[in-house]
Amino acid sequence: MKAIYLDNAATTKIDSEVLELMHVSMQENFGNPSSTHQFGRKAKSAVETARKNIAKHFNVSAPEIIFTAGGTEADNLILNNAVLNLGVQRIITSKIEHHAVTHTCEFLKRTQNITLDFVNIDKSGSVDLQHLEELLSNSEAKTLVSLMYINNEIGTILSADQVYALCNKNNALFHSDTVQVIGHYPLDLQKIPLDFMVASAHKFHGPKGVGFAFFKKGFGVLPMFYGGDQERGARSSTENVHSILGMEKALEIAVTNLEKDKVYIENIKQYFITELQKVSKEMLFNGLSSDLEKSSYTILNVRFPINNSMLLFSLDMAGIAVSGGSACQSGSSKGSHVLAEILKGDEADKTSVRFSFSKFTTKEEIDITLQKIRELL
């Protein structure tokens, strides 16, 4: 039985060039970057070179990049700093954000007494910009808007330029969880000047356990935990040298091949959509995930015309790895909080599955998956 991996929004296979680089680094670059001897200096130099190279991809300066253990830590670092360090008294977000954002916002509301408002979203998962403008204009409290650039479950793309314009007009800060963007779409922060963004290397064929937070120049950063002075005092912990270098390499590969990979994966996604509709005319797609312009080309959230609680299990038993929602909840009995917000009544009763693709996905794998779906239906 051929193993088929269609859960790339959860994590991706590490690129072979990244593995090779990390293997060499583990053998040759083992010094502690905080040590002053030659081994430490070599490691420190490698980390700082990686920081500069990563920053160039987003048209920002190296000091604006802070290395973290991934997107969740980066979101937490940004949101906590916004409230505890930058004087934010109010956060506007949505109910379909990643839990790294929603749970952190709820914690800050409980512990710091901030105001927490939720902007309306429509049935496609798109932000109601008119409501956002109303929320921004009805308070003089210092406000942070936190809205993800691409939804990790349904792939809906945020109108980030319009959100930024509203934030700028109303003197609000703008944070976006960009985990599903980095390595898949170009992002020039001089054109869409986010105040804060995050990345996680394992979403673009890099290693797990490493990512970064972007803080626009001029914002001081208060650490979330203490014990050292790494990352210019922003994050105490010995730098994960090999993973940082792996992330740099993965991003370099992704950016270099971005257009080629995008075309390839778009074709895979469109083929899958077309063939699914042949399987059943009642096959539907959640959010805007079947729209190649308005959703990520890597994500397709399919609503099957049946209610089959064993569908994910059956696909897994056939060697096909997919997700029923956010992978961060895959071990939980709870359903998708995103789908719960956008699907109502009979729609919510149907079984939904997230398929997500990468440059390693093949048409043959899609055909095998389609055949299994036909059998299950």
Two structure tokens written together for 326: 């956010």
pLDDT single digits (tens) 362-372: 999 999 999 99
| pLDDT band per the 50, 70, 90 thresholds, residue 52 | very high
* Nearest to 88, CA basis, from 144, 163, 140: 144
- Per the prediction, the chain carries an average pLDDT of 94
Instruction: Please state, for a pLDDT cut of 70, what percent of the chain lies above it.
Output: 97
Among the residue ranges 231-245, 274-288, 315-329, the one predicted with the least confidence is 315-329
Task: Look at residue 262 in the predicted model and tell me its pLDDT.
Answer: 98
Does residue 331 register a pLDDT over 50? no
For residues 91 and 143, the answer to whether their CB atoms sit within 8 Å is yes
* pLDDT, tens digit, 9 for 90 and up, residues 282-326: 999 999 999 999 999 999 999 999 888 899 999 999 999 999 855
DSSP three-state, residue 215: strand
Domain boundaries in the chain? 4-12+258-376, 16-256
CA-CA-CA-CA torsion sign (357, 358, 363, 366): negative
Per residue in 208-232, pLDDT tens?
999 999 999 989 898 888 988 899 8
Phi-psi region of 283 (alpha: psi -120 to 50; beta: other; left: phi over 0): beta
Residue owning tokens 């710091």: 112
d(CA 29, CA 231) in angstroms, rounded, equals 19
Please tell me whether residue 89 adopts helix, strand or coil conformation.
coil
Nearest to 108 by CA among 148, 150, 152, 144: 144
pLDDT per residue as tens digits for the range 88-109: 999 999 999 999 999 999 999 9
The question of whether 328 is a catalytic residue gets the answer yes
pLDDT at residue 197 is higher than 50: yes
How far is residue 329's CA from residue 9's CA, in Å, rounded to a whole number? Answer: 13
> Of 232 and 182, which is predicted with more confidence?
182
Mean pLDDT of the 67-84 span = 97
Domain spanning 4-12+258-376 has what CATH number? Answer: 3.90.1150.10
| Same CATH fold assignment for domains 4-12+258-376 and 16-256 | no
Q: What is the per-residue pLDDT for 225? A: 87
Confidence of residue 346 (pLDDT cuts 50, 70, 90): confident
Pick from 57-61, 145-149, 179-183, 340-344: least confident: 340-344
Give the span between the Cα atoms of 20 and 125, in whole angstroms.
Answer: 40
What's residue 349's pLDDT?
87
234 pLDDT exceeds 90?
A: no
Six token digits for residue 153: 């479950």
Domain 16-256 has CATH 2.30.130.30: no
Structure token digits, residue 72? 């969740």
Residue 174 pLDDT > 60: yes
What is the C-alpha separation between 305 and 277, in angstroms, rounded? 11
- Looking at residues 112-138, what average pLDDT do you find? 97
Say if CB 140 and CB 114 are below 8 A apart. Answer: no
Kindly tell me the sign of the dihedral angle through the C-alpha atoms of 366, 311, 353, 201. Answer: negative
Catalytic residue among 328, 368, 376, 377, which? 328
pTM: 0.94
CA triplet 72, 73, 74: central angle to 5 degrees?
90
